Structure 1
């Protein structure tokens, strides 16, 4: 028998290899348009991200190796152009010569796969725009991004490939924006509320996703510069078009082949409507295993399974059982930044459209023993038929092994399992792998409780649609966690609950839903019959409360210590202080702050007088997620309380008068004393300013401690000529230089500004030593105090830093709770303080001082 196979990626090569193993006497000829065969199309995004380092790793088999391994003839660079099914002749064009060739067959297998759908928009062929379907696509895209040092990318399409590429581009350091025409990510794959969780997660991870957005034009001339869309223009240096795939079947038009939207319709034996012509893989329309309805499922996994089954059918060796392909479940899994997403079977929407009386539940569980390192969560949605309890579909989200949850579901779906079939399933358990009751079984229990009435709940989808309207939210957490909401301690409910009427409509909410269910069970016993549990609770849902919930004074004080000051015009919104280390941040940090403001705050950013950036309008519940987001960018919040405050500095050596590198010095002060003393409580706030010269742009003498860069001239009097018109004398802004008795003299009014250095034509002022002036006891506000300058000019940075530390230690040791450092200096006397700062006794008492329980409240109110 002579079998010709068109297509050499997944289904084609699998058919060829299995067919030759089944019957070596069959002549198998595999022709393919590409130069490569059996390449890992699903691995292309990971090549772009650098996880797969070389192009060779993407190619499973070369044509030569495959031919030698299987015995099939492999012809590359041959594109199918026509089919005469009556004559059993396939026509193909040699891409090297352009010549037409004919291939006669006894059996023909069409496995031409699918190609990336290219959006028909202007500019789509500008250099810098790539699709993602072949190894060449991935190689050229990665090379282009590296060669052009691309910093921004736009991905068109939020399906599997689009989101995988987005993650991998971000890993390469690019800022990524995804445009999706549908109103959710991965449309048709996940139900809306699951997709919404994924969308929110991507936003938190810094991948911007614009839904219901149409890409209208690619901008640029010689290379791409941006994308114009219905949501505005987005600058970028590379575009990935990942707007789905289309079957490669155009050459079959006019042949009489039955097709639906370009996909070849096949039966259970993979036969087309044409005699002795079969199809498999991404070009074939198979059926849904559950419903029997036609389904197109272009996945590498199903393509391989179809190819293997087809080979057994063609060989006639059914090994005692007639072979047929049973259909697909649409099983898929995708890796996103810190979140894996899997699904199989029917979505809730699909089940309802097909007439099932579907019931579902979302359960958030541990993915392994909660005490085991790296334990995380699974958010599992189960869909079942209400009457029969037959499992219909599963969707799982989580940072860990969601694939094992999906694989359990696939096995159950293949066997028409009911929920009860999983109830006592003896799945593998050990703390590193699972919980004692498997997470899948826990999810089954939740749905069973719902079916038998033990659990009354709202699904996240119902909650998003407003089903909880009119319900009073009750915080069922272990400790109060939802601001402005009545907290009910489950462990103390032994009868009627004060403040709750038995007829009230109560929505019970905790972190995941489990504790809320326990509270519902207890409340029902005591006559509260109108309660609902919010499935997934706060870990899955965006909780809506009536109006603005008032944050307790205790919480206002607590988060103030984290750098969040309440906006007094609101009840539950805060302004977040992001420490910028003297006002200097990188472009990446600036971008992270902007993204954080967009995701967690009002989208507005302000700058304080202390050169700290503030993200405005952060709701109370967003405080911890915001801090986590910023920490991943190396940023921290704070700058409040009775502690050392963030350092402020001028431009330093970038200013024409700057004597010192203020950024480098203030960075070191920040590291040693803001970060190093972050847990040390002081009587009040302690502010430090660093100025590069005596111009005092940042007012060092109005801070608790101020440092001014000095340039101490090293005078060589032997070179002084005692000129009648002295250039040094003329240039001195302080009038501290004067020629006396034929030699230049500097008075005590010299502030070491350095203007005189190199002004003497005879070299008397050619050199200077970098130094530092220190002011102590300044303050600004309701009371103003100008700091006094220590008598010594410090010319050693370590000695200077030692004085800074001694000033902090003195304030802690000898200051009175609630007073500012200026008050301490005035009370003790400047000379006494100066004497202590110039000795080492404070450092000798450091350990005792730091460990003392002092100033636990402090005097700072902001």
Structure 2
């Protein structure tokens, strides 16, 4: 049997390999347009972000390796352009020499996949505009990032790939904006209130998101500089077009294949309407496993499953593809998102009598280090209790939650089937009652009336407008709400009417439910629990000015907004000026931002950053967006590398090095490059242009000081009675000994003031370099840094030592201690030895990936 497969990424290679395992005598040939086969398309954003380091890691198999491993014949550089179903032939163009070739078949598998949609608009061909579908797309984008010095990126499209790309661009230190034409991100995949939560999370983590925005054109001469849209113009050094994909089926338009919106229609065996022609993967239309209706689900997972099953069908086995659930999972900054099955809207559209619940649960034992939460939405049929879909957020393993739902839905499970499931439990992994089962219990309670609740979607729509808010938290947290301490409710509560509409709210929903249970017992008939409570919802009492929670104060502090403790909701915004140097345009933006979003005042900090004073909490995100448009950012707090400070360097009469340029380079490499790396405490770096130490490099965790090392030409020294070198030495260590000039190299601070002062040119030559101080600090406890014995004359070697110091602090520091404490504990000589060797750099990857210093020690 001669099987011809067109396309060699997921479905094609999986089907071909399985065919040869099923029947080694089959003649199996793959034709593919590209030079790469079986590549990891889902890994492309992570290659851009550096998580996947090399191109080779993207390629699962080369054609040669795959052919040797499987016995499949692989021909690359072949583009199919015509199908003759009656003659059982495919016409192909050889892309290497332009010739036409014809290939016959007994069975044909079309697995041509899909390609990125690149809209026809002005500027789409500019440099710096990318799609992300093939390995070379990711390679080109990462190379462009490295070579162009791009600082701002716009991602057009808020789907899975767009958001993964946004996260990875942010990890590379770019300011990232996501634009989507739909009214929400991840449209059709998440329900609207879930998308709002994800959008809010992205914005809190520094990624701007604008929905309902149409992109009109890309601006720039040779390189892209901005994106013009219906919401205004967004500056951009790099643009990623991620607005969707379309099946690669244009070549089949006149073949007689039945297609719908470019996808090939298939049956349960993945047959098309043409004899002996099959389709699988991103080009094929399959069915929804729940509804049985047609559904296009271009996912790498389903493509592999389809390819494997199709091979079994071709080998003579009785198999039927049951369809897809649209299962997906995506990694966002600090938050993972998963889903499967029907959305609430899709379930209603299918005629189901829908009930939902949103549950906030622990993701593992609450006392175990690293414990966090799952936010789980379950969708079920009210009459049959059949599980129809789920969506989940959490910083941890949301995939295990999704996979439980996939298994249940696929087996037609009803909610009660999960009640006594014997899921695995140990404190590092889960809770005693599994978090999925806890969510099921909540939905069962809601269905049988044990719990009366309001969904976040209903709350957003204004369903709580007529309700009085009751705060059931462990301590009052909702301004204007009636606070009721659950533990003290042993009868009717003073001030609460038993017929009054009461919205019960707490941190996550559990205490609110317990309170409802008690109040029902004491005759309260109109209580409603807000699902997700304040963890998920932005709960406010009408007419009451909200205070800011301690959690939010901590969160925005990480964004560079420090709470003014004399106020309830005012913050001072630290604007990073890199090294104290800003342009006139940036200054104008800062002052305009102060007027528009603060009280109009700007102060300077001792670290040469600027603070916009008295910014109301609700103005924080608008101010950040305003500053981003001007190329500015806020931040510089927490247990991390801080923004670098420098003196004026060579613009000062004594400056020996260009401190602005060096500090800018240090800022990009270590403040931005290490922005998400947690340290035991803050790590401050200062760059001084000479030994005058104007910016106190020796009082910082690490300091760099410009050096000019004089070289004495003894043959030119005349031993003058009044030596100009001796006279001009500011620290008086130059001396005449036995009629000749002498400068003690151990005592010289290398200020360079003596160079050129000898009229007989005895001191005209010198070597420029850098001295590195480590372990300084200023504050409640002062420590003067000590310099390394070596004066570094190579800038790259000096930069490597800075990186080694940061890595040593992360690896060997104790959470809460400053670098000076670490050095004192380890010993200066030990630290110096490590900084002058390469071992710390050799362990860099392992060090960075380790979960260390989860709390950190910085307080400001």
Global fold match (TM > 0.5): yes
Q: Could you tell me which residue of structure 2 aligns to residue 276 of structure 1?
A: 276
Q: Could you tell me which residue of structure 2 aligns to residue 538 of structure 1?
A: 534
How far apart, CA to CA, are the structure 2 residues paired with 1:510 and 1:15? Answer: 52
Check whether the contact 2:180–2:212 (CA below 8 A) recurs between aligned residues. Answer: yes
How far apart, CA to CA, are the structure 1 residues paired with 2:100 and 2:208? Answer: 48
How far apart, CA to CA, are the structure 1 residues paired with 2:128 and 2:604? Answer: 43
Q: Could you tell me which residue of structure 1 aligns to residue 163 of structure 2?
A: 163
In the alignment, structure 1 segments of 5+ residues that lack a partner are: 638-648, 665-677, 679-717, 720-756, 764-797, 807-862
How far apart, CA to CA, are the structure 2 residues paired with 1:555 and 1:105? Answer: 65
How far apart, CA to CA, are the structure 1 residues paired with 2:650 and 2:469? Answer: 56
Distance 1:365 1:12, change over 3 A: same
Q: Could you tell me which residue of structure 2 aligns to residue 634 of structure 1?
A: 636
How far apart, CA to CA, are the structure 1 residues paired with 2:19 and 2:27? Answer: 9
Distance 1:578 1:237, change over 3 A: closer
Q: Could you tell me which residue of structure 2 aligns to residue 384 of structure 1?
A: 380
**Count of aligned positions:** 668
> Shift in Å at residue 484 of structure 1?
2.6
Distance 1:420 1:799, change over 3 A: closer
Distance 1:90 1:484, change over 3 A: same
How far apart, CA to CA, are the structure 1 residues paired with 2:314 and 2:181? Answer: 42
Q: Could you tell me which residue of structure 1 aligns to residue 303 of structure 2?
A: 303
How far apart, CA to CA, are the structure 1 residues paired with 2:226 and 2:323? Answer: 42
Q: Could you tell me which residue of structure 1 aligns to residue 183 of structure 2?
A: 183
How far apart, CA to CA, are the structure 1 residues paired with 2:89 and 2:655? Answer: 86
**Over residues 550-577 of structure 1, what are the superposed CA-to-partner deviations in whole Å (9 max), with x where a residue is unaligned?**
6599999999x99534898xxx532336
Distance 1:516 1:127, change over 3 A: same
Check whether the contact 2:598–2:616 (CA below 8 A) recurs between aligned residues. Answer: no
Q: Could you tell me which residue of structure 2 aligns to residue 722 of structure 1?
A: none
Matching of residue 374 in structure 1 with residue 373 in structure 2: no
Distance 1:256 1:192, change over 3 A: same
> Could you say what secondary structure the match of 1:170 adopts?
helix
> Could you say what secondary structure the match of 1:342 adopts?
strand
Check whether the contact 2:225–2:235 (CA below 8 A) recurs between aligned residues. Answer: yes
Matching of residue 607 in structure 1 with residue 606 in structure 2: no
Which stretch of structure 1 is more off in the superposition, 399-408 or 521-530? 521-530
How far apart, CA to CA, are the structure 2 residues paired with 1:799 and 1:80? Answer: 67
> Shift in Å at residue 71 of structure 1?
1.3
How far apart, CA to CA, are the structure 1 residues paired with 2:552 and 2:54? Answer: 53
How far apart, CA to CA, are the structure 2 residues paired with 1:249 and 1:658? Answer: 69
How far apart, CA to CA, are the structure 2 residues paired with 1:101 and 1:800? Answer: 73
How far apart, CA to CA, are the structure 2 residues paired with 1:762 and 1:142? Answer: 53
> Shift in Å at residue 11 of structure 1?
0.4
Q: Could you tell me which residue of structure 2 aligns to residue 415 of structure 1?
A: 411
Q: Could you tell me which residue of structure 1 aligns to residue 616 of structure 2?
A: 618
Q: Could you tell me which residue of structure 1 aligns to residue 392 of structure 2?
A: 396
Q: Could you tell me which residue of structure 1 aligns to residue 563 of structure 2?
A: 564
How far apart, CA to CA, are the structure 1 residues paired with 2:297 and 2:39? Answer: 19
Matching of residue 112 in structure 1 with residue 108 in structure 2: no
> Shift in Å at residue 549 of structure 1?
3.2
Check whether the contact 1:127–1:222 (CA below 8 A) recurs between aligned residues. Answer: yes
TM-score, with structure 2 as normaliser: 0.70
How far apart, CA to CA, are the structure 1 residues paired with 2:194 and 2:778? Answer: 54
Distance 1:554 1:177, change over 3 A: closer
Distance 1:553 1:259, change over 3 A: closer
> Could you say what secondary structure the match of 1:224 adopts?
coil
> Could you say what secondary structure the match of 1:15 adopts?
helix
> Shift in Å at residue 618 of structure 1?
2.9
Q: Could you tell me which residue of structure 1 aligns to residue 743 of structure 2?
A: none
Matching of residue 451 in structure 1 with residue 447 in structure 2: yes
Q: Could you tell me which residue of structure 2 aligns to residue 503 of structure 1?
A: 499
Q: Could you tell me which residue of structure 2 aligns to residue 640 of structure 1?
A: none
Matching of residue 477 in structure 1 with residue 468 in structure 2: no
How far apart, CA to CA, are the structure 1 residues paired with 2:599 and 2:304? Answer: 51
How far apart, CA to CA, are the structure 1 residues paired with 2:90 and 2:219? Answer: 42
Structure with greater Cα Rg: 1
**Over residues 152-182 of structure 1, what are the superposed CA-to-partner deviations in whole Å (9 max), with x where a residue is unaligned?**
1111111111111111111111111111111
How far apart, CA to CA, are the structure 1 residues paired with 2:614 and 2:225? Answer: 31
> Shift in Å at residue 803 of structure 1?
13
Q: Please point out which of 329, 353, 359 is paired with 1:333.
A: 329
How far apart, CA to CA, are the structure 1 residues paired with 2:656 and 2:89? Answer: 84
> Could you say what secondary structure the match of 1:74 adopts?
strand
> Shift in Å at residue 18 of structure 1?
0.7
Check whether the contact 2:540–2:546 (CA below 8 A) recurs between aligned residues. Answer: no
Check whether the contact 1:474–1:509 (CA below 8 A) recurs between aligned residues. Answer: yes
**Over residues 212-259 of structure 1, what are the superposed CA-to-partner deviations in whole Å (9 max), with x where a residue is unaligned?**
111111111221112111111112221111111100000000111110
Q: How does 1:812-823 map to 2 (within 5 A)?
A: none
Distance 1:619 1:238, change over 3 A: closer
Check whether the contact 1:567–1:573 (CA below 8 A) recurs between aligned residues. Answer: no
How far apart, CA to CA, are the structure 1 residues paired with 2:648 and 2:61? Answer: 61
